Amino acid sequence: MSQERKPLVSHIFTADPSAHVFNGKIYIYPSHDIPHDGEDNDDGDEYRMEDYHILSLDNPDAPCVDHGCALHMKDVPWVSKQMWAPDAAYKDGKYYLYFPARDKDGIFRLGVAAGDDPAGPFVPEADCIPGSYSIDPAVLADDDGKFYIYYGGLWGGQLEMWQSGSFNPDEHRPEGDEPAIGPMFAELDDDMKHFRTEPKHLQILDENGEPLKAGDEDRRYFEGPWMHKFGGKYYLSYSTGTTHYLVYAESDRPDGPFTYRGRIMEPVIGWTTHHSIVEYKGKWYLFYHDCELSNGINHRRCVKFTELHIAPDGTIETIRPYD
């Protein structure tokens, strides 16, 4: 029986799924929502995740397996709280889990942990990735053997607080016709635990080659970057945040600039939207989350997936999640 558009698991709340094919199976790396009765706010204090449970599917029609806790924040020396949306990568016999969390000063950083199995357990580095900040890491294993990391989220993700080059919680938020802030990009070093290149903001352009504006909330970047390749081109997809769309942009290079192409998915139940795109046996799939399982409680989400239809020119057919 197809698992499409149904919660993959219901015994825990999961969100922010990063899907990969390892060893012929689909592995999903989500965050783990913890139920509580606190209030929601723009800083995301309601998202109190403490650990990661890795999920897997033998195929899209198979039942989902929860492999248990693969990493807990108590095992990561630099973390104080909020282990948010993760991703994973494989290189030379090792699996790497990338994750954001607040350090002891309350600043979001990126961490990395390594393991011998795609389901974990993962052993974390004692400190965060040097020079990292903000949230939502996503790693692309390119065809030439290079690995690139994309990351960053506005508001509670603190991305705009680093515009001066150092952390400033009172930094001005771009608005109106000011250029929008793009996600961060860096190449990973051979050890997969450091940046090889200086991180930089990616530029996302409109159809006229002009940078997207901060006030263009239907198209500008907010959080949740993902990168997939199709037909030799790079496709950056992301959440628009306030307008709750998943959208995408295209480039000939992994570091852009990217040109906005269109909308992947209309809004789901709940405030956040966060996704990944993966190919499995010639078909493409979108993994995402919504709050259907909790009847709309923002910090009690469930991971789902659906088939993604991509035209030969790379155009993605827009999904209406409840049709």
pLDDT digits over 165-217, tens only?
999 999 999 999 999 999 999 999 999 999 999 999 999 999 999 999 999 99
Q: Region 292-300: what's the mean pLDDT? A: 94
Q: What percent of the chain has pLDDT over 70?
A: 99
Burial class (CB in 10 A: 0-12, 13-18, 19+), 8: buried
> Is 60 exceeded by the pLDDT of residue 158?
yes
Can you list the positions of beta strands (E) in 9-165? 13-22, 25-33, 51-57, 65-72, 79-81, 87-91, 94-103, 108-115, 123-124, 138-141, 147-151
* Of residues 88, 87, 136, 89, the one with CA closest to residue 108: 136
Question: Do residues 15 and 28 make contact, with C-beta atoms less than 8 angstroms apart?
Answer: no
User: pTM surpassing 0.85?
Assistant: yes
Give me the CATH code for the 13-308 domain, please. 2.115.10.20
Which residues fall within 8 angstroms of residue 216, CB to CB, at 6 or more apart? 180, 206
Write out the catalytic residue numbers: 16, 223
Torsion (CA) 118, 123, 128, 129 in degrees, nearest 10: -50
Reported as a single tens digit per residue, the pLDDT across 217-250 is: 999 999 999 999 999 999 999 999 999 999 999 9
Confidence of residue 40 (pLDDT cuts 50, 70, 90): confident
Confidence of residue 152 (pLDDT cuts 50, 70, 90): very high
pLDDT given for residue 238 in this prediction:
98
CA-based diameter of the chain, in Å? 52
Instruction: Determine the Cα angle at 210 with ends 208 and 215, to 5°.
Output: 115
User: Is the backbone peptide bond immediately before 257 cis, with ω within 30 degrees of 0?
Assistant: yes
Q: What is the mean pLDDT of the chain?
A: 97
Strand order in the sheet with 184-187: 138-141, 147-151, 184-187, 200-201
Reported as a single tens digit per residue, the pLDDT across 80-134 is: 999 999 999 999 999 999 999 999 999 999 999 999 999 999 999 999 999 999 9
Confidence of residue 1 (pLDDT cuts 50, 70, 90): low
Query: Which pair of structure tokens corresponds to residue 53?
Result: 């449970």
Instruction: Determine the Cα angle at 99 with ends 61 and 173, to 5°.
Output: 110
> What is d(CA 19, CA 297) in angstroms, rounded to the nearest whole number?
24
